[in-house]
Structure 1
Amino acid sequence: MEQNKHIIHMDQDAFFVSVEMRKNSSLTGKPVIIGGTSDRGVVTSCSYEARKFGVHAAMPSRMAKQLCPHAIFIKGNMDDYTKASQEITAILAEKVPLFEKASIDEHYIDLTGMDRFFGCMKYAHELRQLIIKETGLPISFGLSINKTVSKMATNECKPNGEQEVQSRDIRSFMDPLSIKKIPGLGSATYIKLSEMGVRYIRKLIEIPPEMMFKAMGQAGLTLWHRANGVDPTPVVPYREQQSIGTQRTFAADSMNIEVIKELLVAMVTSIAYELRQKHKLTACITVTIRYANFETVTKQAKIAYTSLDHILISKAKELFEAVYNRRMLLRLIGVKLSHLVGGHEQIQLYSASEKHYSLYQVMDKVRNRYGEEAIGLASSLQLDW
């Protein structure tokens, strides 16, 4: 039953910034901003000291400089952030029976049943201390009966804190909070509920569920349940090999490499869009070719977490050049993205200018409305790479 669950939500504090501080301790306690350093750049992440000045992710760098002119801007290194994330995942894989990697900087852990052998709060505390000791990175956690309440508990005790919300305390914990604190509640939903006079969770739970369903459909009903501390979503075991991909078998064997290259770019663009639609990031890309004699050759590369077309296209091109090393007819080409995790917007912002990031947002909106083939990057039409 729901009451018997013991779910931990662990979240790195200002993850990108914390990794930079681990490399350079002189940054500790200072307003640090990760992202594009030019006026056309975008803020990817920022320290709590910078947040006090109103800086936040997705903000244009020029605005962040105006709000916090004494901030230290760092371009950052996604390879370092990916490796740090993998360090934490490796510790959890060794120490807990079941965990889900929800994103690059957060994990859910199911300790249900372990309370018979350990105190779950005691075990979670010791696990947090171990991660801090082994990685040198701050981390917070919330412990409760399901994912929603544990994540909200984490958010309330950050930075560098820990909190347990037992079943009997859920109402006293949640009721005073803004509805903005409910995971998954977007800005459009917040505006709609605010117009209805609903800004706090205590008010939201007074609305009959039938009315929420009528106003917002199934999403409204799910939101109402979460506001009531109900979330049956299970902790999904983490699997490194989870993947998405596509492949094409040619109608006739071909050596028209320019056309094949163009096809590969289009394939990568398609699955990168699918990746973003699923709010996922990839840390591994694989390109496969099959010669006319049915010999199949595969080459893969580990990459920093991303979901952006231009990064994936560039790596796919490199892999194709490496894997196609015989002047023979081809009958098939394929590309796969694996090592998937849930994706924060901060990853999509990384290495993107303000205009570049806006372009991806607009492109995805067009695809969502008119279909995947409605728009594409000009680079996917180039034949001379």
Structure 2
Amino acid sequence: MERNIVHLDLDTFFVSVARLENSSLRGIPVLIGGSSDRGVVASCSYEARQFGIHSAMPMKLARQLCPEARLVPGDYDSFARYSKMVTDIIAEKAPIVEKASIDEHYLDLTGMDKHFGCWKWMQELRQHIITESGLPISFGLSVNKTVSKIATGQAKPNGEKHVFRGGEKEFLAPLSIRKIPMIGSRTFTLLRNMGIARISTLQKMDLEVMARVMGVNGVSIWKKANGLDDSPVVPYSEKKSISKEHTFDKDTIDMELLKKHIVTMVDELAFELRKEQKLTSCLTLKIRYSNFETYTRQIKIDYTASDRTLSEQALALFHKLYSKRMLIRLIGVKCSDLVTGSYQIDLFNDAITELNLSAAMDNIRTRFGTAMIKKAMLTEKKDKRKTYRAATFRV
């Protein structure tokens, strides 16, 4: 059966939400992010992009490129509310929905062509979303997720694109290799050094050469360039919370040990959040004393997946909660009220250096395991040599 896969993307989502709530922002350059010069641009309007501004750019540089741009603090509660509204509209009508991020969805409409006509059905759904939410949205329709996502990019802003079966390679050929999902700056530089700038060149490359030069990643990129992708649309389900606990072999009152375990658990939870593109707005700390009495305390925070922010809040909760001066048997941390987030870490307040450091550490954890890199405060003296070696991996 011929597959019909759709990719939907809310155009400049954060900016569009801000404009719905403040009409004076329409038609002018808008930057979404923290007001500090050390922060980064979370999102920007098309008007701002004309000045060379893009997401993840240092806010200080963005304001230099476009001094007249309006800077708007991010309101993640509003973003989450509008995201849920759109998801609910789609889920009510589409048979299989995957929520890829706060502003992206994949739909599997396979089998619907004989009843409705997928293209016409999607046009009607898109108009329904725009009418109900007030947000601009683009979509691409093709036989797989990769081609549909690229088609959406070509349809923007606020447009539609249909790539017919058999026309995938022809559609992709003239495009830049940057359009292929999963090609980051390092992979782009490597391919450019090989003389590859357009997808058409990549399509002609020998598969064995790509495998030899880039391994499994090279094979995957070659397949995507040739419009080949059999990955399924995974039905959407929202995880409500994630947590970690540690039971001590021997009950303890060692404050340094307790703090190390709290920070370690928070680091692991924050990495899991970023890996799954989630953000949390509620942090809970649990303590079980040696007499088995258990106490918890929680705090509402701005949506984040920053290990620094979460560690600071968790340690503050611990100091407020630990009052009995009794030996502790178990300690736990939970992140709840999760929403799907984007690439950002602490979406509006982290400095660009912190974003880069976290990304580098996440890369090491993904490639070599979570135990291969850790903060200095979590490392025993006897492990210094081992930690130094782990920290020198190239990322």
Same fold flag (TM > 0.5): yes
User: Which residue pairs with 2:277 in the alignment?
Assistant: 280
* Change over 3 Å in CA distance of 1:59–1:71 after alignment to 2: same
Query: Once the 2 structures are TM-superposed, how far is the Cα of residue 122 of structure 1 from its aligned partner?
Result: 1.9
User: Which residue pairs with 2:50 in the alignment?
Assistant: 52
Query: Once the 2 structures are TM-superposed, how far is the Cα of residue 178 of structure 1 from its aligned partner?
Result: 1.0
For the Cα contact (< 8 Å) 2:304–2:347, is it kept in 1?
A: no
Query: Once the 2 structures are TM-superposed, how far is the Cα of residue 137 of structure 1 from its aligned partner?
Result: 1.3
Distance of 1:322 and 1:129 partners within structure 2? 51
Q: Deviations over 1:55-78 (max 9, x none)?
A: 011222222122112111122222
Distance of 1:315 and 1:155 partners within structure 2? 39
2:144 matched to 1:146?
A: yes
User: Which residue pairs with 2:350 in the alignment?
Assistant: 352
For the Cα contact (< 8 Å) 1:101–1:341, is it kept in 2?
A: no
User: Which residue pairs with 1:130 in the alignment?
Assistant: 128
User: Which residue pairs with 1:173 in the alignment?
Assistant: 171
* Change over 3 Å in CA distance of 1:294–1:262 after alignment to 2: same
Q: Which stretch of the first structure deviates more once superposed, 47-56 or 65-74?
A: 65-74
Distance of 1:195 and 1:16 partners within structure 2? 35
Q: Which stretch of the first structure deviates more once superposed, 289-298 or 346-355?
A: 289-298
User: Which residue pairs with 1:334 in the alignment?
Assistant: 332
* Change over 3 Å in CA distance of 1:342–1:248 after alignment to 2: same
User: Which residue pairs with 2:304 in the alignment?
Assistant: 306
Distance of 2:234 and 2:339 partners within structure 1? 11
Distance of 1:94 and 1:246 partners within structure 2? 34
User: Which residue pairs with 1:27 in the alignment?
Assistant: 25
Distance of 1:288 and 1:97 partners within structure 2? 40
Distance of 2:41 and 2:47 partners within structure 1? 14
Q: Which runs of 5+ in 2 are unaligned?
A: 381-395
For the Cα contact (< 8 Å) 1:148–1:229, is it kept in 2?
A: yes
Identical counterparts, % of pairs: 51
Q: Which stretch of the first structure deviates more once superposed, 136-145 or 111-120?
A: 111-120
* Change over 3 Å in CA distance of 1:371–1:122 after alignment to 2: closer
Q: Secondary structure at the match of 1:34?
A: strand
Q: In the TM superposition, what are the counterparts of 1:365-384 in structure 2 within 5 Å?
A: 372=371, 374-376=373-375
Q: Deviations over 1:113-168 (max 9, x none)?
A: 22232221222222222222222211111111111011001000011111111113
For the Cα contact (< 8 Å) 1:103–1:341, is it kept in 2?
A: no
Query: Once the 2 structures are TM-superposed, how far is the Cα of residue 366 of structure 1 from its aligned partner?
Result: 6.8
Q: Deviations over 1:280-319 (max 9, x none)?
A: 2233655444454556666777765532113323454576
Query: Once the 2 structures are TM-superposed, how far is the Cα of residue 271 of structure 1 from its aligned partner?
Result: 2.4
User: Which residue pairs with 2:84 in the alignment?
Assistant: 86
Q: Which stretch of the first structure deviates more once superposed, 230-239 or 87-96?
A: 87-96
Q: Secondary structure at the match of 2:308?
A: helix
Q: Secondary structure at the match of 1:70?
A: coil
Q: Which runs of 5+ in 1 are unaligned?
A: none
User: Which residue pairs with 1:195 in the alignment?
Assistant: 193
Query: Once the 2 structures are TM-superposed, how far is the Cα of residue 218 of structure 1 from its aligned partner?
Result: 0.8
* Change over 3 Å in CA distance of 1:111–1:298 after alignment to 2: farther
Q: In structure 2, what residue type is equivalent to 1:282?
A: L
Q: Which stretch of the first structure deviates more once superposed, 225-234 or 238-247?
A: 238-247
Query: Once the 2 structures are TM-superposed, how far is the Cα of residue 212 of structure 1 from its aligned partner?
Result: 0.9
Distance of 1:319 and 1:258 partners within structure 2? 15
Q: Secondary structure at the match of 2:138?
A: strand
2:226 matched to 1:228?
A: yes
User: Which residue pairs with 1:62 in the alignment?
Assistant: 60
User: Which residue pairs with 2:383 in the alignment?
Assistant: none
Equivalences, count? 378
Q: In structure 2, what residue type is equivalent to 1:281?
A: K
Q: In structure 1, what residue type is equivalent to 2:351?
A: S
For the Cα contact (< 8 Å) 2:38–2:350, is it kept in 1?
A: no
Q: Deviations over 1:324-344 (max 9, x none)?
A: 787865422223446767653
User: Which residue pairs with 2:392 in the alignment?
Assistant: none
* Change over 3 Å in CA distance of 1:22–1:319 after alignment to 2: farther
Query: Once the 2 structures are TM-superposed, how far is the Cα of residue 12 of structure 1 from its aligned partner?
Result: 1.1
User: Which residue pairs with 2:387 in the alignment?
Assistant: none
**How large is the Cα RMSD of the aligned pairs?**
3.2
User: Which residue pairs with 2:161 in the alignment?
Assistant: 163
Q: Secondary structure at the match of 2:166?
A: helix
Distance of 1:292 and 1:197 partners within structure 2? 65
For the Cα contact (< 8 Å) 2:36–2:349, is it kept in 1?
A: no
Distance of 1:379 and 1:42 partners within structure 2? 28
For the Cα contact (< 8 Å) 2:345–2:355, is it kept in 1?
A: no
Distance of 2:297 and 2:93 partners within structure 1? 32
Distance of 1:19 and 1:336 partners within structure 2? 30
For the Cα contact (< 8 Å) 1:305–1:347, is it kept in 2?
A: no
Q: Which stretch of the first structure deviates more once superposed, 48-57 or 70-79?
A: 70-79
* Change over 3 Å in CA distance of 1:191–1:359 after alignment to 2: closer
